[in-house]
Structure 1
Amino acid sequence: MRVNADFTKRVAVHFDRNDWIASPAAGVERKMLDRIGEEVARATTIVRFAPGSAFAAHTHDGGEEYLVLDGVFQDETGDFPAGSYVRNPPTSSHTPSAKEGATILVKLHQFDPEDRTEIRRSITGDSNLQLFKDSREDVRVLNLSPGEKLDLDAVDGLELFVIAGSVQESDEEFSVWDWLRLPPGARSTALAGAEGARIWIKSGHLSQMI
């Protein structure tokens, strides 16, 4: 399976215009943002867990990172409510579930194979946050004031996900849970909407895919 697999192209996916697709696990649905592979895939996905649903135990050979967007996501290490950011490095394993339901943004099989950094933290509040940074990638949460301009210098590629509020890029509006991917070498700007914006940005990682 290949979804938005040409990393030389700009891609925009709007949450409300992207269909839910059933997963092999009962009660678990996905909106695919990009994907290369079948069930074991390099993927960026919004995943919705119905109350009481779960995935079978599995190992993340290529690592996993996720933002909890709604509800409470769970595994053997604890409960992760909306506003949680988690990085599970390569070779980690777990049995994810959501007793009361949850929605997450998750990225799979995109880590340095030698990365062993675990992160579990809250991203709630109004502060700018550096979530992770190494020689391959930079992951942040930024707050933009109403009308604030942000330069998007995608030297090695960039992804932007709107957590709250809205931004405009290339005359296209991105609101809550919309996703934008800029290819390596792209330069653009994001302009925050009337209510400002809280955005997740990951950069520096896409040139490896070309």
Structure 2
Amino acid sequence: MLINADFSRRASLLPEQYQWVKSPQNGVERVMLDRVGAEKARATSIVRYAPDSHFPHHLHPGGEEILVLSGTFSADNTHYPTGWYLRNPPTSGHQPYSNEGAVIFVKLWQMSADEKHHVAIDTKDAVNWQKQGSREVCHLYSDAREQVSLQRLNAGDVLFTETIAGGAELLVLEGELIDVGQRYRRGGWVRLPDGAEAQIKTGADGVMVYLKTGHLSQVIGVDSR
């Protein structure tokens, strides 16, 4: 299966364009943002757990990155409410579920093989945020190949001020971004290729955005047209 699989091209999705697809597990649906492969795939998705739904215990050979967008996501008797950010390194495993229901942003098979440590950060805790120029930044993860953060920008701010080395991927969490007349509100997703230039500005109420940069420079694009 190929969905937005040419990483040399820009890709985007508005929340009103979401198409929820059933997963192999009852009560769990997903919106496929990009995907290269079948059920076990390099994939970026928004996943929705109905109340009292679960997956059986399984492994993630290529690692898993999660941001809890709403509700409470649980794994192995640990509970992560809205705002928690998780990284489960390659070869790790867990049994995920949700008692109350949850929506999560998930990236699979996109980590370096040498990544070894679990990460769990509560992005709603003010201690995890710091001022960086005119914006506030919650640093989530950084290594030689990628940088991941949540960022809060004020109204009218420009998201990128230079050419995007290594590409970028963003998910709007609050507020609005505007790019060439297109407005991306909460749930809007954009992926920009290595070397892209973009004049993306925030809307009248500012924005909070998940932002990953640098991770697309080594990805081989597959033409999915």
Query: Please, what is the CA RMSD of the aligned residues?
Result: 1.2
The partner residue of 1:129 within 113, 131, 138 is: 138
Q: Residue 56 of structure 1: CA displacement?
A: 1.3
- Aligned-residue identity in percent: 42
The partner residue of 1:193 within 203, 208, 211 is: 203
- Runs of 4+ in structure 1 deviating by more than 4 angstroms, as ranges, are none
> What is the distance in 2 between the residues matched to 1:165 and 1:84?
19
Q: Residue 2 of structure 1: CA displacement?
A: 0.6
More strand by share: 1
Q: Residue 34 of structure 1: CA displacement?
A: 0.1
What's 2:169 paired with? 159
1:56 aligns with 2:65: no
What's 2:11 paired with? 11
**Structure 1 residues 59-90: Cα deviation after superposition (integer angstroms, max 9, x where no partner):** 01000011000000001151000010000000
Within-5 A mapping of 1:52-201: 52-76=52-76, 78-124=78-124, 127-151=136-160, 153-201=163-211
> What is the distance in 2 between the residues matched to 1:182 and 1:77?
37
What SS does the corresponding residue of 2:145 show, helix, strand or coil? coil
What's 1:204 paired with? 214
- TM-score, length-scaled by structure 1: 0.97
Gaps of at least 5 residues in structure 1 are none
Partner letter of residue 104 of structure 2?
I
**Structure 1 residues 106-134: Cα deviation after superposition (integer angstroms, max 9, x where no partner):** 00000001101211011125741111100
**Structure 1 residues 6-36: Cα deviation after superposition (integer angstroms, max 9, x where no partner):** 0011011112212100001000000000001
> What is the distance in 2 between the residues matched to 1:77 and 1:66?
17
Aligned length: 210
Partner letter of residue 121 of structure 1?
I
> What is the distance in 2 between the residues matched to 1:55 and 1:178?
26
> What is the distance in 2 between the residues matched to 1:209 and 1:18?
25
What's 2:132 paired with? none
- TM-score, length-scaled by structure 2: 0.90
> What is the distance in 1 between the residues matched to 2:138 and 2:159?
15
Q: Residue 170 of structure 1: CA displacement?
A: 2.6
> What is the distance in 2 between the residues matched to 1:42 and 1:83?
24
What SS does the corresponding residue of 1:154 show, helix, strand or coil? coil
> What is the distance in 1 between the residues matched to 2:199 and 2:25?
39
